[in-house]
Homo-oligomer: A and B are copies of this chain.
């Protein structure tokens, strides 16, 4: 059956993700949405122009929720990133909730029953909010969460020890925000525990990884290429039922919210949560970051938006 992918919200992240999907030939049908109908139409033209030079074909449709009925994946990227220019992702709570509340009834009405990937921030509370309100099984709701932070940690480590990023493994966990942490006990370089490389200052590396996004963000006011690549990888894993591990934001029953941690991704979204052997210190960090998400979720719930 044709792979149908929806992308809601055509800011830099949404449209870069859309371009990536057609360039890699992943989507047979791509349905893009923006509340600015003219923008959605303009982007559909710009994306369609690219088909002239691709060997694969993607049908591009805009602002048609009915087309999502049998979609495999919907990527939600709406919101207004300028809300966080002050430097705190949680200040986006209101704008993101507003965007979700506007989209939710239409997405429900479409009969969509695939996997929702939330990129909007604050990612973990937005993902939890979707999970509580979309009416789909919890495992079908995923946030990109610390997948991007993990890419950045891997990039920072790869640079310092001069290896390929593919040979750095391990995970960042927790909130996709200030309280996240690198679970260094999980990180391996060239298949060796990074903790055994005594010359490395892991705190400095953590900081480099954490600041990576800000470095880009403060200059560009958005970051797009890492996250668009993650959305592509997750979509491929879902469409092909790959059962691959990604550090994503998904439901943690111990805390009742979505928290970034390694999960096995397949056709049904999260198909397993392999247990992690964190150190005591890492467990404490995880506990703290999960509580931050709980707190932010309460804030989101209390935030009033227009129906």
Tell me whether B219 and A38 are in contact (CB under 8 A). yes
Question: A3: CB under 8 A from chain B?
Answer: yes
- The answer to whether A220 and B43 have CB atoms under 8 Å apart is yes
How long is the Cα–Cα vector from A240 to B5 in the complex, in angstroms? 12
Q: Does A155 make an interface contact (CB < 8 A)?
A: yes
Which of B163, B237, B264 is in CB contact (< 8 Å) with A245? B163
CB of B169 within 8 A of CB of A169, answer yes
Query: What is the count of identical protomers in the complex?
Result: 4
29 A-B contact pairs sorted by A residue (CB < 8 Å): A1-B72, A2-B239, A29-B241, A42-B218, A43-B220, A45-B155, A45-B212, A46-B223, A46-B225, A46-B226, A49-B148, A49-B151, A49-B212, A52-B151, A52-B229, A53-B151, A53-B226, A53-B229, A53-B230, A56-B240, A57-B236, A57-B237, A59-B240, A163-B243, A164-B242, A164-B244, A169-B188, A190-B274, A196-B277
A2 and B1 form a contact (CB under 8 A)? yes
Q: A16 contacts which chain B residues (CB < 8 A)?
A: 16, 19
Chain A, 31-71, contact with B by CB distance < 8 Å: what is the 0/1 string? Answer: 00000001101110111111111111111000000000010
Query: Which 10 interchain pairs have the tightest Cβ spacing?
Result: A49-B226, A1-B1, A52-B151, A55-B55, A42-B219, A57-B242, A53-B229, A28-B240, A164-B244, A50-B229
- Contact across chains for A191 and B169 when beta carbons are under 8 A apart: yes
**Would A52 and B226 count as touching, CB distance under 8 A?**
yes
Kindly state the separation between the CA atoms of A53 and B148 in the bound complex, as whole angstroms: 10
User: Does A215 interact with chain B (Cβ within 8 Å)?
Assistant: yes
What is the CB-to-nearest-CB distance from A9 to chain B, in angstroms, rounded to a whole number?
15
Bound state CA distance, A226 and B48, in angstroms? 8
Closest to A16 in B: B19
Binding site for B on A (CB under 8 A): 1-4, 16, 19-20, 23-25, 28-29, 38-39, 41-43, 45-59, 70, 72, 148, 150-152, 154-155, 162-167, 169-171, 186, 188, 190-192, 196, 212, 215-216, 218-220, 223-230, 232-233, 236-237, 239-245, 262, 264, 267, 274, 276-277
**A10's closest neighbor in chain B, by CB?**
B220
Nearest Cβ on chain B to A214's Cβ, whole angstroms? 10
